[in-house]
Chains A and B, each alone.
Chain A
């Protein structure tokens, strides 16, 4: 409950900052030695929040569907892509972390490349993935453009999971591992009973990062591959109308932000049932 209030408070604070700056800021922006240090505060650059909200209910184009409906559908589309990318990325990260924990050689050989993978600029990578995957198909099902976007989301999402989970799997103390050995438990049972539960406190922050990365991957992936139907694409489309209809692009951006919050909340929910002991610790009896 306190967390929900915290989030709401943060949103209200942001809104106050926005409108507050708009009220006191120079409409032409503040310049220092010819360089703009504060943004323009005119209606064109920073529309009133109320205008943005009003814009949601008006049609996208004359006679079209209302903007909120379009934004909502686009968010839903991107949410689906994000979910697929997040799931695939988490699975891949999980497998990589388990392999790296099991085989020292794999860790030494693979970990540098896992890190390296994230330094490749996404914008350069996206057309490449689109190019490769265009030639793929699952039997009778052809490769869809959204799958390319999901691949990009997964590409960003697997990294925190692989690195975070690996650290978690390696976190049990030597005596814990020896205890399992004294029970004649093999690698698999040690993994299930000791390493995996011990890794959970490391896994959840990693999943949160992965969720955020998957959203970014999906949005940027849509933009750089030109996939239609998602919120990323919508931001680009609406920003073309920014001069004539400044409130419109902010509706799409608000949608993208909301999408991020939904994914973050979902990952937060995953955590609840599995971290019971953490919460109970606070009830110290002795």
Chain B
């Protein structure tokens, strides 16, 4: 079974009006179970729209979106995915632990189980000591880690991320990338990751999907087969070759 399957999807905003925009045109995409797929492209290429279609936060004008073998709307209702945005978007009136518990609360998970699950997730992102803190007391990178913990709290088979590290500094960003890979490997989660950083896409992904704008469409799909994903990998010739491939695809 595939994690995400998108077939013939188009998205038109403001259809029939003067400001009509074709955000996506005839997109096909498959994400296999456990696969890490990045969507990359210039602003306005519809990569975020594509992610929002998978999340059923917006509906396609044409085509079908299937998540975990179900229509996207059903998958959203069953909480088959967790999502994280560029802004951590934590609820400032809740402690870190209660932020992570939020999706569980909405699923009516018992208090004791919520607590255990939140602790487990905070341990996963290395924030066990900060459960009782409020978000405003944490740095940007820590907040983003809480957001990831929150997205993973319901153990979703799919993780959707919209430029989650976009607002972070380079060093924090690289550290979180490595952590994210470990988490995904540990939990076996499939991931769709929107970014506009080529190096980030190559380092993280099994597959990089290159998109172009007006109308938004997929122009290339590049398979990434790095032997390892560590600091050495970032220096390897294969890595640089792949970065060049993606850059060429973006220019094409």
Q: Give chain A's interface residues, CB within 8 Å of chain B.
A: 173, 175-176, 178-185, 189, 193-194, 197-198, 200, 277, 280-281, 283-286
Contact = CB atoms under 8 A, between A and B. Distances in A.
B89 A283 contact: no
A198 B33 CA distance: 37
B142 interface: yes
A178 B134 contact: no
Contacts of B103: 183
Given A184-B79, A277-B92, A286 B106 contact: no
A194 B91 contact: yes
Interface in B71-105: 76-79, 81-83, 85, 87, 89, 91-95, 102-103, 105
Main secondary structure of the interface of B (DSSP, over half): loop
B51 to A, nearest CB: 11
A260 to B, nearest CB: 30
Contacts of A179: 83, 85, 89
A285 B139 CA distance: 10
A47 to B, nearest CB: 50
Contact of B83 (A182, A193, A283, A286): A182
B106 A193 contact: yes
Top 7 nearest A-B pairs by Cβ distance?
A184-B77, A281-B136, A175-B85, A175-B89, A183-B106, A197-B93, A277-B134
Given A197-B93, A286-B139, A280 B134 contact: yes
A193 B87 contact: no
B123 interface: no
A285 B85 contact: no
Interface in B129-155: 133-134, 136-139, 142
B89 A281 contact: no
A173 B105 contact: no
Interface of B: 52, 55, 57, 76-79, 81-83, 85, 87, 89, 91-95, 102-103, 105-107, 133-134, 136-139, 142
A281 B134 contact: yes
Nearest to B75: A184
Given A189-B106, A193-B105, A286-B138, A182 B92 contact: no
Contacts of A183: 79, 102-103, 106-107
Nearest to A285: B137
Contacts of B93: 197-198, 200, 277
Contact of B91 (A178, A197, A281, A283): A197
Contacts of B55: 178, 182
Nearest to B134: A277
6 contacts: A175-B87, A178-B85, A184-B78, A277-B93, A277-B134, A286-B138
Contacts of B139: 286
B114 to A, nearest CB: 14
Nearest to A286: B139
